Chain A
């Protein structure tokens, strides 16, 4: 008898647990129905077979499915969804999800990480590019190779200096019958020494490589992994590069890139082959040498040896770390421009953004939400601009880089204005108390009654905290928007309308 009663108690507990799934407004009636069925079935089962208790318990487990139907039926779900979509948490969650989606779609933000994290070079703050500024023709960014030779022999401020062909070239490399098209650059054999990078496989900096063979090649990790299936025996293999014989002497680490991420192959070249060319230059400064000091010293070296006078132009020593982070600086400037554009709109009073003054906590919540929303929106925009347009580079790979970069910058500027405007407009149509999006729009007044009252739109807080009046016509004696706080007596009216009972 006691065991049977225990089973009855278990059934009651199952029903009690399932009842928590049912929405509160229908819970009591739902529980009453199931309890009544259980009590009746229990009475009947006392005179029938002993296994009835187990069957009854099993039946009570079905109450969970019934309760789930109550919770998830379409009308209820739709209403819950509508209510939830008006809350500030929903907007923040949606924006955070969009940001997360963007990060996943871009493959874990590779470009953003390249820009923000420390460059993959040894002691990167001492590595700098040497270029000319103020030159009107295309010679900007590059210098004559003869200058490199002068600096190599004369410069006291540089620890090492190396030249490279500034424009990546589309090449076709074949190794053991496998062919791949990659972007390649010609580099001096000490370039990797300047960067302080050790290859993942093979070697990179044995002096005389460039002299012995004109085509000693180093592969990027990406090329090695994707095009040559991470062949561990690739070093010392013979290859052909654009129809010429070559040899793979090493594979660089995964993080390494130079001068831009698209380059997949570096060809060590004889110094003599650079003579007469305009080249890109990268140098490692001696410890405790400032960029400005190096600029003056290097300029003096050139003036002393070749008599070059830097009229209207100057030599620029630019740390690679700063050069890589340049897009972020531009984005910051674009944001400042957007804020300047938006400032008159905010100060004009066109947007009524004032939170309830009396409540400090309310004001903090109001502005925190606005700040968080705008910040996440700007982060989404910045991530999209960096990940899908800007290619990090030490040296631009051509005019296309400038066009894409300028285009992306303009888009970012316009995007910033749009994002801030949207954020302000959204804030304006939110309840000043609970931050829910205002709903129930209603037209009020008509043009003929303009002098007697409002002509415009009225929006209400779904929880009944207040009304927002928005004028349709701008007139000097009416505020464009006006928030009217409703007292607590209105709350019951709003809560009744929002909680219409739908059973079954």
Chain B
């Protein structure tokens, strides 16, 4: 039987931020205010636990710069996030929804 995934507050915040449409590492840092040395290892752990999935940006969208890697929350990630929000009720206020423009860019 698999061990239930228990998220730390920081990991839950990052997962919540991704679910709100901020899908790039540096964007997550801007929104959460967390340093890169915290965000990236947390992303690695979340991906290892299959709570998020990474995907490379399409070349067409990346104008004059290399394509970025974006992250999206998996179904398991959403389930775990729901549990984490019950555990950390103030989390929703900490991670704002992405603006329409950002969200559009992120979805692409």
The 5 closest A-B pairs by CB, nearest first: A62-B36, A65-B37, A62-B37, A66-B40, A504-B47
CA distance A213 to B83 in the complex (A): 89
CA distance A108 to B37 in the complex (A): 44
Determine if A40 is an interface residue (Cβ-Cβ < 8 Å). yes
Contact present for B24 and A65 (CB under 8 Å) = no
Contact present for B47 and A69 (CB under 8 Å) = no
A75 to chain B, nearest CB (A): 8
Which of B40, B57, B62 contacts A63 (CB under 8 A)? B40
CA distance A504 to B69 in the complex (A): 13
Contact mask A29-48 → B, CB, 8 Å, 1/0?
00011011101110100000
Contact present for B44 and A36 (CB under 8 Å) = no
Size range of the chain A interface in the assembly:
20 to 34
CA distance A66 to B37 in the complex (A): 6
Contact present for A39 and B37 (CB under 8 Å) = no
Contact mask B37-80 → A, CB, 8 Å, 1/0?
11111011101100000100100001011111100000000000
CA distance A369 to B65 in the complex (A): 54
CA distance A41 to B26 in the complex (A): 8
- Residues of A within 8 Å of B54, CB to CB, are 504
Contact present for A70 and B44 (CB under 8 Å) = yes
Contact present for B68 and A65 (CB under 8 Å) = no
With A64-B37, A66-B40, A69-B41 known as contacts, the answer to whether A37 contacts B47 (CB < 8 A) is no
Name the interface residues of A1-35: CB closer than 8 Å to any CB of B: 32-33, 35
CA distance A59 to B36 in the complex (A): 6
Contact present for B66 and A35 (CB under 8 Å) = yes
The dominant DSSP class at the B interface is helix
Smallest CB-CB separation from A75: which chain B residue? B48
Determine if B85 is an interface residue (Cβ-Cβ < 8 Å). no
Determine if B35 is an interface residue (Cβ-Cβ < 8 Å). yes
Determine if B29 is an interface residue (Cβ-Cβ < 8 Å). yes
Determine if A60 is an interface residue (Cβ-Cβ < 8 Å). yes
Contact present for A36 and B40 (CB under 8 Å) = no
Contact present for A62 and B68 (CB under 8 Å) = no
The dominant DSSP class at the A interface is helix
A163 to chain B, nearest CB (A): 77
Contact present for A36 and B66 (CB under 8 Å) = yes
Contact present for B65 and A40 (CB under 8 Å) = yes
Smallest CB-CB separation from A59: which chain B residue? B36
- Residues of B within 8 Å of A66, CB to CB, are 36-37, 40-41, 44
Determine if A447 is an interface residue (Cβ-Cβ < 8 Å). no
Contact present for A37 and B24 (CB under 8 Å) = yes
Contact present for A62 and B69 (CB under 8 Å) = no
- Residues of A within 8 Å of B67, CB to CB, are 36
Contact mask B64-108 → A, CB, 8 Å, 1/0?
111111000000000000000000000000000000000000000
Determine if A73 is an interface residue (Cβ-Cβ < 8 Å). yes
Smallest CB-CB separation from A62: which chain B residue? B36
**Can you report 28 residue pairs joining A to B where beta carbons are below 8 Å apart?**
A35-B66, A36-B68, A37-B26, A37-B68, A39-B66, A40-B24, A40-B26, A40-B68, A43-B64, A43-B65, A59-B36, A62-B35, A62-B36, A62-B38, A62-B40, A63-B36, A63-B40, A65-B36, A65-B41, A66-B36, A66-B41, A69-B41, A73-B44, A503-B47, A504-B43, A504-B44, A504-B48, A504-B54
CA distance A65 to B54 in the complex (A): 20
| Apart from A40-B68, A59-B26, 15 more pairs, CB < 8 Å | A36-B57, A36-B67, A40-B24, A40-B65, A43-B64, A58-B35, A61-B37, A62-B39, A63-B36, A63-B37, A63-B40, A64-B37, A66-B36, A69-B45, A503-B47
CA distance A395 to B74 in the complex (A): 80
B54 to chain A, nearest CB (A): 7
B61 to chain A, nearest CB (A): 11
CA distance A66 to B36 in the complex (A): 8
Name the interface residues of A272-288: CB closer than 8 Å to any CB of B: none
Contact present for B29 and A59 (CB under 8 Å) = yes
- Residues of A within 8 Å of B35, CB to CB, are 58-59, 62
CA distance A322 to B38 in the complex (A): 66
CA distance A41 to B25 in the complex (A): 11
- Residues of B within 8 Å of A40, CB to CB, are 24, 26, 65, 68
Smallest CB-CB separation from B29: which chain A residue? A59
Contact present for B68 and A69 (CB under 8 Å) = no
Smallest CB-CB separation from A42: which chain B residue? B65
Smallest CB-CB separation from B68: which chain A residue? A36
- Residues of B within 8 Å of A504, CB to CB, are 43-45, 47-48, 54
- Residues of B within 8 Å of A65, CB to CB, are 36-38, 40-41
Smallest CB-CB separation from B65: which chain A residue? A39
A141 to chain B, nearest CB (A): 69
Name the interface residues of B1-59: CB closer than 8 Å to any CB of A: 24-26, 29, 35-41, 43-45, 47-48, 54, 57
Contact present for B36 and A69 (CB under 8 Å) = no
- Residues of B within 8 Å of A64, CB to CB, are 37
Smallest CB-CB separation from A67: which chain B residue? B40
A411 to chain B, nearest CB (A): 47
CA distance A266 to B80 in the complex (A): 78
With A33-B25, A37-B24, A66-B41 known as contacts, the answer to whether A60 contacts B64 (CB < 8 A) is no
Contact present for B44 and A37 (CB under 8 Å) = no
Smallest CB-CB separation from A504: which chain B residue? B47
CA distance A503 to B57 in the complex (A): 18
- Residues of B within 8 Å of A32, CB to CB, are 66, 69
A481 to chain B, nearest CB (A): 42
Contact mask A475-504 → B, CB, 8 Å, 1/0?
000000000000000000000000000011
CA distance A151 to B35 in the complex (A): 89
Contact present for A69 and B66 (CB under 8 Å) = no
